[in-house]
Amino acid sequence: NAGVTQTPKFQVLKTGQSMTLQCAQDMNHEYMSWYRQDPGMGLRLIHYSVGAGITDQGEVPNGYNVSRSTTEDFPLRLLSAAPSQTSVYFCASSPMRTSGSYGYTFGSGTRLTVV
Amino acid sequence: GNSVTQMEGPVTLSEEAFLTINCTYTATGYPSLFWYVQYPGEGLQLLLKATKADDKGSNKGFEATYRKETTSFHLEKGSVQVSDSAVYFCALSGGGGYNKLIFGAGTRLAVHP
């Protein structure tokens, strides 16, 4: 089925470890983004991309890197995990990069715990 | 900057009760407005949207009207079901030529039989 696929669904890391959260979409969407969801804080934008080779920072980018080498994939890298990065991470995509009228398609999320 | 404010939850209702979840926004220009729903253990799903003032978005019995004069986009449903229990997020497009969405904190709805 077409959509946004995130892997893994669950992950436990030790402080200082690094890892990559994967996100792939098969809808040829130009716009992709990463959010983190924390209790009482809604969703906060980490990084986003408006097309292959183009990325930019969102509201809470520190401690995370992204790249966009293809239209389909938008991985999120945690460089050195910290307990403050314990959260649920969502990847989302949208078909139009210059219009704000399209909604997002979300992945099912990755629940990350840093101990 | 742009922002979205939602009423705090949790909201607890009996089945068939009327639902209102308030949402107000601050934005420059003319953003699009959205409601997303998150069922337990799942990602967010687009519930409805409105792209200009006075537009009414509707889906699955839910409605919301884009009120520019009051900068509001309240979500309503005339008769809720147990299956509507979820977290509801109001959001607006960030403008600036890109499709960034800014979310409210979310409102948890619990519907009891």
- Mean pLDDT computed over A53-60: 93
> How far is the alpha carbon of A3 from chain B, nearest alpha carbon, in Å?
12
Q: Where is pLDDT greater, at B101 or A19? A: A19
Amino acid at position B3, single letter: S
Residue B88: predicted pLDDT: 97
Residue A2 has pLDDT above 80, yes or no: no
Residue B96: predicted pLDDT: 54
* CA of residue A15 relative to chain centroid, distance: 20
* Cβ–Cβ below 8 Å for B44 and A101: no
User: By a Cβ cutoff of 8 Å, what residues of chain B touch chain A?
Assistant: 31-32, 34, 36, 42-46, 49, 51, 89, 93-95, 97-106
Helix ranges (H only) for B1-113 are none
Q: In sequence order, which residues have a C-beta less than 8 Å from that of residue B12 and are 6 or more positions away?
A: B109, B110, B111, B112
Residue A100: predicted pLDDT: 66
For residue A58, give the chain B residue with the closest CA.
B100
* CA of residue A9 relative to chain centroid, distance: 13
> How many residues are listed for chain A in this entry?
115
Nearest Cα residue to A39 out of B36, B9, B42: B9
- Rounded CA separation B92/A43 (Å): 12
Residue A61 has pLDDT above 70, yes or no: yes
pLDDT grade, residue B104 (50/70/90)?
very high
**Virtual torsion, Cα A73, A83, A58, B31, nearest 10 deg:** 100
- Mean pLDDT computed over A3-32: 96
Q: Where is pLDDT greater, at A19 or B7? A: A19
Residue A39 has pLDDT above 90, yes or no: no
The encoded tokens of residue B65 equal 């009207």
Residue A14 has pLDDT above 80, yes or no: yes
Residue A103: predicted pLDDT: 81
Residue B2 has pLDDT above 90, yes or no: no
Q: In sequence order, which residues have a C-beta less than 8 Å from that of residue A31 and are 6 or more positions away?
A: A48, A49, A50, A51, A93, A94, A95, A96, A97, B98, B99
Residue A102: predicted pLDDT: 75
Residue A9: predicted pLDDT: 95
pLDDT grade, residue B9 (50/70/90)?
confident
